[in-house]
Amino acid sequence: MYRSLATYLERLEREGELVRVKVPVSTEYEIAEITDRLSKTPGGGPALLFEQTGSDFPVVTNMMGSDRRMALALGVERLEEIGERIDSLLKQATTPPDGLWGKLKMLPLLAEVSRWMPRTRKGRGAAQEVVWQGDEVDLTKLPILKCWPCDGGRFVTLPMVNTIDPETGIRNVGMYRMQLFDRNTTGMHWHLHKTGARHYEAYKRLGRKMPVTVALGGDPAYTYAATAPMPDNMDEYLLAGFLRRKPVTLVKSLTNDIFIPEDCDFVIEGYVDPAEEKVVEGPFGDHTGFYSLTDRYPRLHVTAITHRRAAVWPATIVGVPPQEDAYIAKATERIFLAPIRLAVQPEVRDLWMPTAGTAHNLAVVSIDHRYEGQARKVAQGLWGAGQMMFNKYLMVTSSACDIRSLDSLAALIRRVDPVRDIHFGEGVLDVLDHATATCGYGGKAFLDASRIDPATPEPKITLPRSYEPVGGVQLVNTAFVERWSTLVLYADRDCYDEVDVPAYLERNNLRGIHFVLLFDYRAAGFMNDEDLLWLAAANTDPGRDLSLWEGSLILDARSKRPGVGKNPARFPNIVTSIPETIHRVDERWSEYGLGELVPSPSRRYRKLWLSDEAQW
């Protein structure tokens, strides 16, 4: 579909979706701050091509950071087209052929599928036009970004990490960040639950070094496929071939036996030695909006670097949502809905993961509701399915509800009975979830709204004219009560102090409100609806931070004092730029050619910054 990343960028420029920044910029903080500002503008802002980066290579960011660019990246006008193709394909594949004629009708389907299969060829590809080996290997010559001030170093953020299962020979392509350590080593951040980590453990059992080849750039369909929640042991390049309606052509790496797309921009080859002690990696300003904490991960030893002669370095910036990853997640919703129906829950009609949930914290599904307990069955099934196992808060509605309509959701939530409709569980969570006491494991909750009729009368709530401070609650926000039956409270002291929310509700006769959210005093007065939802989901473990009082569900979304009670041992800070970077970008804005000054989001979010002794 696209012969190279440059070809895709040319298409974006013709479509008015890309802006070139022609003046010199720093790969340390400056590119991230510029990208963060524009990616948070309505619609996601433009893709950005930074032409002067202090290296031989330009850097592109936000290349899939809008609905339009995501569709262009995958070669469609509407992302729904891909879901419709998959739905049609699966219907054909799951319909038993009837007799000889039925079997013959299946042949075109088999022929079509065979056309997507990746193909290998001999010789070198465009990605291997320039070769650095031996003493020439030098990762510091690449424009690898350092995005945020507390990052542990520079990170490769859009790598397609290719590994092979040593026992089955099946390939996996995953996206795992890589921290630059020196000219020929990086960290390899694959989580315990990821396929790359499973391959690592297999090589460790066998006592063998693990070959790894990392590709960057090329057709953006490759990059998307590396992020997609493919079933284990299914080839991501098959998905890429399906998306681009053209097979991926692979060539062999120069220093190992792993095959990679011949038309990528960069290739980093090497190995991980499972016999080596793991190394400290991080922190990293992550897509959760918080710094992921330091931990020990394998070290990648680089044996070769190859690239196109006119290569472009692709990077993504993650942090407080929304960012580019929100649009990638939206594509995944549409593309993988049909497989979820087929393989996991056939009654699921739609799936929505709000941007504020950073892909795994929040999800809403609608189902064809037919019997008692069906919503619980769906929730349990989804929590055991692929990357949906990381979901923390889930709402289940009937198919009559348009789950992307906030008015429709609000009509249900105003009629919720928290005692009857909220259900709790425990299970696997994302390793990046900082609110849990046990890494990768914690509480879950789902709201069963599948039986609620939005036409039934809703409870009436009467609010007092004034509020008496009590129980450590100083400020109250009633803006969400009428629409969402939700009261927002702010503690009047530091996050370490105990706050008695039931006492406050009792004293002020605040009954009948379904949800009560408690935040740090730092959050008062400047956070919008999306901010509050993001912080409430990110900063809580449902098993520890949810409690019921007189029919109201209280959620404690304050920052947690590390190591106290059931709190996590370490609690990270929010991801923001430092004032020096903000000031520098403000001063240079007219040089960039990006139009009217866009204020830094970090000016707002730094109000949530924890003191040094409160974090980590």
State yes or no: pLDDT of 286 exceeds 60: yes
Q: Which two tokens stand for residue 69?
A: 């660019």
What pTM was estimated for this model as a whole? Answer: 0.93
pLDDT band at 101 (very low <50, low <70, confident <90, very high): very low
pLDDT, tens only, 64-83: 999 999 999 999 998 888 87
pLDDT, tens only, 537-581: 999 999 999 999 999 999 999 988 887 888 888 889 999 999 999
Instruction: Quickly count: other Cβ atoms within 10 Å of residue 209's Cβ.
Output: 16
Task: Output the pLDDT for position 156.
Answer: 98
Least confident of 104-113, 326-335, 501-510, 607-616: 104-113
Task: Output the pLDDT for position 107.
Answer: 41
Task: Output the pLDDT for position 609.
Answer: 85
State yes or no: pLDDT of 217 exceeds 60: yes
Between 497 and 460, the more confident residue is 460
Least confident of 199-213, 244-258, 403-417, 466-480: 466-480
State yes or no: pLDDT of 334 exceeds 50: yes
pLDDT, tens only, 108-133: 444 566 678 899 999 999 999 999 99
* Arithmetic mean of pLDDT, 469-475: 85
Tell me the percentage of the chain whose pLDDT exceeds 90.
73
Residues 6+ apart with CB under 8 A from 313: 53, 55, 57, 58, 59, 60, 142, 143, 144, 216, 217, 265, 266
**CA gap 278, 610 in Å, rounded:** 30
* Arithmetic mean of pLDDT, 16-29: 98
Residue reference for tokens 């702010």: 490
**CA gap 394, 364 in Å, rounded:** 6
Residue reference for tokens 């579909």: 1
pLDDT band at 616 (very low <50, low <70, confident <90, very high): very low
Handedness of CA 360, 363, 369, 373 (dihedral sign): positive
pLDDT band at 161 (very low <50, low <70, confident <90, very high): very high
- The DSSP secondary-structure symbol of 126 reads G
Query: Which secondary structure element, helix H or strand E, spans residue 65, and what is its range?
Result: none
- The DSSP secondary-structure symbol of 17 reads -
Task: Output the pLDDT for position 387.
Answer: 84
Q: Which two tokens stand for residue 551?
A: 């029919």
Task: Output the pLDDT for position 560.
Answer: 87
Between 229 and 407, the more confident residue is 407
Residue reference for tokens 């929640």: 229
**CA gap 329, 339 in Å, rounded:** 16
Alpha helices in 519-578 (DSSP H): 529-538, 542-545
**CA gap 472, 464 in Å, rounded:** 18
Task: Output the pLDDT for position 90.
Answer: 62
Least confident of 182-196, 282-296, 489-503, 582-596: 489-503
Check whether the bond before 283 is cis (ω within 30° of 0): yes
Least confident of 48-62, 174-188, 549-563: 549-563
Amino acid at 530: E
Task: Output the pLDDT for position 103.
Answer: 41
Task: Output the pLDDT for position 109.
Answer: 46
Between 31 and 96, the more confident residue is 31
- The DSSP secondary-structure symbol of 442 reads E
* Arithmetic mean of pLDDT, 582-606: 97
Amino acid at 235: D
Catalytic residues: 286
**CA gap 366, 402 in Å, rounded:** 8
Task: Output the pLDDT for position 339.
Answer: 76
Local structure of 275: helix, strand or coil? coil
**CA gap 378, 357 in Å, rounded:** 20
**CA gap 26, 23 in Å, rounded:** 10
**Cα separations (Å) of 175 from 163, 282, 316, 599?**
11, 16, 12, 31
pLDDT, tens only, 224-263: 999 988 777 788 999 999 898 899 999 999 999 999 999 9
Q: Which two tokens stand for residue 512?
A: 């009948």
- Comparing CA positions, the residue from 596, 592, 597 lying closest to residue 22 is 592
Q: Which two tokens stand for residue 454?
A: 């939005």
pLDDT band at 507 (very low <50, low <70, confident <90, very high): very high
**CA gap 63, 86 in Å, rounded:** 25
* Arithmetic mean of pLDDT, 15-32: 98
Task: Output the pLDDT for position 100.
Answer: 42
Task: Output the pLDDT for position 613.
Answer: 41
* Arithmetic mean of pLDDT, 435-456: 93
